[in-house]
Amino acid sequence: MALLAETSTGPGPVLVSLQAVQDRFGYVPAEAVSLIADACNVSRADVHGVLTFYADLRTSPPPDVPVRLCAAEACQSVGGRELKRDWERRCGESAELAEATGADEPVFCLGNCALAPAALVGGVLVGRATVEKVESMVRGSLQGSP
């Protein structure tokens, strides 16, 4: 695989290779573990260990519009917990929203504390996030997708 030829010889080759595969495919398919192990000359267990250590590495395709709500202190102090609760409730009411956004994977500080609570909606940073704002962005993304 040409992709791994570039990543398997530099520093931190396993992590860099996993990131390259995820960048290309959106996640790291199970078949990639053996390919990366061979390319980096490490065991499959080594690759699996790195793959499962980093929460940002995915082993399944991402949802259409991933939503990540900040769960760190600054956001919690201005309603982050309530936002998470209300967002989960909203997804429970709408199968379309739940399927499009997948399970909320908490993130700890998005570097947007001054505009807390913060969220990432389809990779876009949102400040002063509300359920209405997040839902509007998700629906807008879905309408814009093919």
Q: Which residues contact ligand FES (rule: CB under 6 A)? A: 70, 72-75, 109-113, 116, 118
**Are 4 and 37 within 8 A, CB to CB?**
no
Closer residue to ligand FES (CB): 20 or 121: 121
Q: How far is the CB of 109 from ligand FES (least distance, A)?
A: 4
Partner residues linked to 119 by β-bridges: 69, 126
Q: Which residues contact 39 (CB under 8 A, 6 or more apart)?
A: 1, 4, 5, 7, 8, 13, 17
Q: How far is the CB of 137 from ligand FES (least distance, A)?
A: 17
Which two three-digit tokens encode residue 68? 């990540």
Closer residue to ligand FES (CB): 111 or 144: 111
Closer residue to ligand FES (CB): 115 or 142: 115
